[in-house]
Amino acid sequence: MRKREFVPSYFYFFSLHFFAIPLFLFFLSFSFPFGGCGKGKQSEIGFDDFVILEGKRYSIPLSRLPTSIFIYSFLSGFQKVVSEVTFSSLRIFPQDISSQEELISHLFSDLYSFFLPDNLFLARSYCDVLTCPFVSCGADKAGNSFSFKMNVKGNCFNDVFSFSGEENMIFSFESEFGGRNSYKISYQVAFDRWNFKGVETGEYVSYSGDISFIAISSESGNFANRKINVRGISRIQEIGSDGRNQTSIYDNDFRQNFSVSVTGDAIRYELSELQNPFCFAHVKDLEYKFRCHRSFKVKNFELSESQDVISFSGNFFETIPFGGKLIWFSAEFSLKMYLDNRRCVRLFGDITILSDEKLHLHFDRDYGDRGCDFTCPSEWSLYDKEGNLIYSDINCLSY
């Protein structure tokens, strides 16, 4: 893999009030054969472990955890993790859908939450219109079942991109209704050498692979799963370490397995995602910029709520771009959050953060009117790689 430009990641601050927040989706434990870097390793281990190994391979660990701004930001916004899990179930399973058009728009919204529209050209307004790329569409309805298909072909050019050959991309949508909030919906995108090139710079992206999504809603509960396996090659221009423009060629690799299930008041959320790297074209006012992202994520969460008490447990691994490099850390946690008028006022449990060191935080305290503060545990302890205690304290963390 050659040099690349890292795009800043995220640490947002979220409120627990009704969990109304934006969502980044994305993630589950899965195993299937891979090509490219690390092929031998992946054939022997699960996808979760493979993502973590590759993430550590391309990143460096954090040190001085108690004073790290990344750890402080993570703890300050810890309620975003709870909100992400809760909001995912609200976002993925549409309620009170009144038409097939609304359902299709819902699934396009899911697709475009992680894949930029200008890289797909799947807008329904393009259907059977003489445009480039050409999009042919068809629909079929039988009883409570409905299917819709789009076929995208290139061998043309528009004001922004040129498309070579007879590359194809197929979007297929299916739905089946069994009554109010009882349905099965799915989509699949299949790429067969989907190529597009910038008309001004000659930069290009080529994708092959597939994306699939299915959501099932019934009286007994809800379940959704998304799988992504997209490969390809990209040729982009970027600024090198010497400050000059250079041309770089990357092997695209975007793999994800994500699932969420809801049964009663319990939610299970699983995500494994690898972009190593993956290149997109960002388009604005007919001007484009190709950028490549490298990131690695594994998240496994369980949440349940009963009588104003949220029980939340799980673990995750994540890489974050910083200063032209990637850094990594992971965490394990088991917590109870006590609410008063939907506001967290008491914490009980533990969070353990791992990277170059181990930071353990124990919570057993009330926070009153100021609300829960994950940077202020009852006590915390720092350990070295060998598990030896370095320091412990009862004061809040700071950076």
HEC profile for the chain? CCCCCCCCCCCCCCCCHHHCCCCCCCCCCCCCCCCCCCHHHHCCCCHHHHHHHHHHHCCEECCCHHHCHHHHHHHHCCHHHHHHHHHHHHHHCCCCCCCHHHHHHHHHHHHCCCCCHHHCCCCHHHECCCCCCEEEEEEEEECCEEEEEEEEECCEECCCEEECCCCEEEEEEEEEEEECCEEEEEEEEEEEEEEEEECCCCCEEEEEEEEEEEEEEECCEEEEEEEEEEEEEEEEEEECCCCCEEEEEEEEEEEEEEEEEEECCEEEEEEEEEEEEEEEEEEECCEEEEEEEEEEEEEEEEEEEECCEEEEEEEEEEEEEECCEEEEEEEEEEEEEEEECCEEEEEEEEEEEECCCEEEEEEEEECHHHCCCCCCCCEEEEECCCCCEEEEECCCCCC
Average pLDDT over residues 135-156: 90
Give the least confident one: 29-38, 47-56, 181-190, 205-214.
29-38
Q: Report the pLDDT value the prediction gives residue 39, as an integer from 0 to 100.
A: 47
Higher pLDDT, 182 or 95: 182
In a domain, 5, yes or no: no
Note whether 276 and 52 are within 8 A (CB). Answer: no
Q: If you compute the radius of gyration of the chain from its CA atoms, what whole number of angstroms results?
A: 23
**Bridge-based pairing state of the strands 168-179 and 182-198:** antiparallel
In a domain, 283, yes or no: yes
Q: Report the pLDDT value the prediction gives residue 9, as an integer from 0 to 100.
A: 33
In a domain, 350, yes or no: yes
Q: Report the pLDDT value the prediction gives residue 285, as an integer from 0 to 100.
A: 85
What range does the domain containing 67 cover? 24-33+45-393
In a domain, 12, yes or no: no
> Using one digit for the tens of pLDDT, what is the confidence trace for 8-38?
333 332 333 323 333 333 333 333 333 344 4
> Using one digit for the tens of pLDDT, what is the confidence trace for 240-293?
777 788 899 999 999 999 999 999 889 999 999 999 999 999 998 888 999 999
In a domain, 1, yes or no: no
User: Would you call the peptide bond into 133 cis, given omega within 30 degrees of 0 as the criterion?
Assistant: yes
In a domain, 40, yes or no: no
> Using one digit for the tens of pLDDT, what is the confidence trace for 363-389?
999 999 999 999 999 999 999 999 999
Average pLDDT over residues 296-307: 94
Average pLDDT over residues 205-214: 95
Q: Report the pLDDT value the prediction gives residue 267, as an integer from 0 to 100.
A: 95
Tokens of 375: 């940077």
Q: Report the pLDDT value the prediction gives residue 13, as an integer from 0 to 100.
A: 29
Average pLDDT over residues 179-204: 89
Q: Which is nearest to 336 in space by CA: 351, 317, 316?
A: 351
Note whether 282 and 291 are within 8 A (CB). Answer: yes
Note whether 146 and 172 are within 8 A (CB). Answer: no
Q: What percent of the chain has pLDDT above 70?
A: 87
Average pLDDT over residues 216-236: 94
In a domain, 270, yes or no: yes
Note whether 83 and 67 are within 8 A (CB). Answer: no
Does 73 score more than 90 pLDDT? Answer: yes
Q: Report the pLDDT value the prediction gives residue 29, as an integer from 0 to 100.
A: 34
> Using one digit for the tens of pLDDT, what is the confidence trace for 342-361?
899 999 999 999 999 999 99
Q: How many domains does the chain have?
A: 1
In a domain, 382, yes or no: yes
Does 155 score more than 90 pLDDT? Answer: no
HEC profile for 98-137? CCHHHHHHHHHHHHCCCCCHHHCCCCHHHECCCCCCEEEE
Mean pLDDT of the chain: 86
CA distance 259 to 268: 8
Note whether 234 and 249 are within 8 A (CB). Answer: yes
